Amino acid sequence: MAIEPQAPPEKEQLSPIENEIPAYRAISPMAIGSLVLGLISALSFADTTFLAASVLAVAAGIYAQWKIRKMPDVLTGRGFAQAGIALGLIFGLASVTNSAVTDAVVRRGAAAFSKEYAEVLSSGSLAQALHYKVPAEERKSVTPEEVLKQMTSAKGDPGMIESQTASIRGVQARLKEPGTHLSFADVEATGFDGLSPVAATLLDLHGPATKDHKAEEHVLLEIKAEGRSRPYQWHLKEVHYPYVPKSYKLREAPVDDGHGHGGHGH
């Protein structure tokens, strides 16, 4: 008796609706992380420590794209990764450029003020040297003699004004010796006190060696500028003499955002 061959089973047919449904793909967590870090990197304008977020945003975005290309049926989110990379690069590079430009402007202004003040120390009186302790705008409305009188009367104790002006008087006394001259040497450090630039600048004091003085000595100026003025208007905070180069530690204060929170100024 002949046996008829059985037809192969028909393949299960998917309905037209099921054919239209795409396979589910998860959004890459690294892509989301890259985007979040890219947004956080905007804070690098207030505090340069957030530059780390820029670097991480780029690294996470690159890694996320690599994973998505490797597993296209499982992961998605390339747009998030690309946005994170872009934000990290834009904010990071802009912050670095802004910091570099600001530092260059501060250094140039600090150097110009220090050269001017070196001339005052060399040829001016004690009153004229103390006049530069007054903020630039106020200097226009008060004379050097008035500043000296105010400082003397405000302190009360003559010994206190003597100790606070000792460095300035010491430099000026040394400059009265024949063959001695003072010149600007370098900007040792720059920073910010809130929104106001601060700097430490070095002056070289050359003259014949004596029992009390070396042939080459150094003077440090602590100076500060008004934060909202452009170009910066500087005034003197302190004079340190004698001074050992590179021994000064600049003291910075955080920028107040108005809510009691601080961040670095550069």
Which range among 1-15, 31-45, 54-68, 219-233 shows the weakest confidence by mean pLDDT?
Answer: 1-15
Q: What is the pLDDT of residue 222?
A: 96
Q: What is the pLDDT of residue 45?
A: 81
Tens digits of residue pLDDT in 143-185: 999 988 888 776 556 667 788 889 999 999 999 999 999 999 9
Tens digits of residue pLDDT in 87-105: 999 999 999 998 899 899 9
238 residue type, one letter: E
How far apart CA 42 and CA 39 sit, in angstroms, is: 6
Q: What is the pLDDT of residue 3?
A: 56
Q: Is there a cis peptide before residue 22, judged by omega within 30 degrees of 0?
A: no
Distant-in-sequence, close-in-space partners of 109: CB < 8 Å, separation ≥ 6 = 197, 225, 231, 232, 234
Element (H, E) at 138: helix 136-139
Q: Does 152 fall in a domain? A: yes
Q: Does 233 fall in a domain? A: yes
The full DSSP string for 189-238 is EEEEETTEEEEEEEEEEE----SS--SEEEEEEEEEE-TT-SS--EEEEE
Rounded mean pLDDT of the chain? 85
Q: Does 221 fall in a domain? A: yes
Q: Are 149 and 64 found together in one domain?
A: no
Q: Are 90 and 132 found together in one domain?
A: no
pLDDT(29) > 70: yes
Q: Are 143 and 181 found together in one domain?
A: yes
Q: Are 136 and 201 found together in one domain?
A: yes
Q: What is the pLDDT of residue 22?
A: 60
Q: Does 173 fall in a domain? A: yes
Q: Are 72 and 131 found together in one domain?
A: no
Q: Are 251 and 215 found together in one domain?
A: yes
Q: Does 172 fall in a domain? A: yes
Angle 211-217-218 from CA coordinates, rounded to 5°: 150
pLDDT(70) > 80: yes
> What is the number of domains present in the chain?
2
Q: Are 86 and 44 found together in one domain?
A: yes
Q: Does 2 fall in a domain? A: no
Q: Are 52 and 166 found together in one domain?
A: no
pLDDT(139) > 80: yes
Q: Are 158 and 250 found together in one domain?
A: yes
pLDDT-above-70 percentage for the chain: 82
163 residue type, one letter: S
Residue 55 pLDDT level (bands cut at 50, 70, 90): very high
Q: Does 222 fall in a domain? A: yes
pLDDT(13) > 60: no
Name the phi and psi angles at 254, rounded to 5.
Answer: -70, 155
Largest Cα–Cα separation, the chain: 137
Q: Does 13 fall in a domain? A: no
Tokens found for residue 170: 């010491």
pLDDT(252) > 80: no
pTM tops 0.75: no
Q: What is the pLDDT of residue 130?
A: 94
Q: Hey, which residues does 264 pair with through a beta bridge? A: none
Q: Are 237 and 133 in contact (CB under 8 A)?
A: yes
How far apart CA 124 and CA 183 sit, in angstroms, is: 15
Q: Are 136 and 237 found together in one domain?
A: yes
Q: Are 132 and 93 found together in one domain?
A: no
pLDDT(46) > 90: no
Tokens found for residue 231: 């170009």
What sign results for the dihedral spanned by CA atoms 97, 103, 108, 113? positive
Residue scoring higher pLDDT (5 or 129): 129
Q: Are 128 and 204 found together in one domain?
A: yes
Q: What is the pLDDT of residue 154?
A: 65
* Domain closes at, from 84, 99, 114: 99
pLDDT(228) > 60: yes
Q: Hey, which residues does 189 pair with through a beta bridge? A: 200
Range of the domain at 172: 124-255
Burial 148-179 (b: 16+ CB within 10 A, else e): beebeeeeeeeeebeeebebbebbbebbeeee
pLDDT(266) > 50: no
* Domain closes at, from 99, 134, 151: 99
How far apart CA 80 and CA 49 sit, in angstroms, is: 24
Q: What is the pLDDT of residue 20?
A: 53
Q: What is the pLDDT of residue 257?
A: 47
* Domain closes at, from 48, 83, 99: 99
pLDDT(265) > 70: no
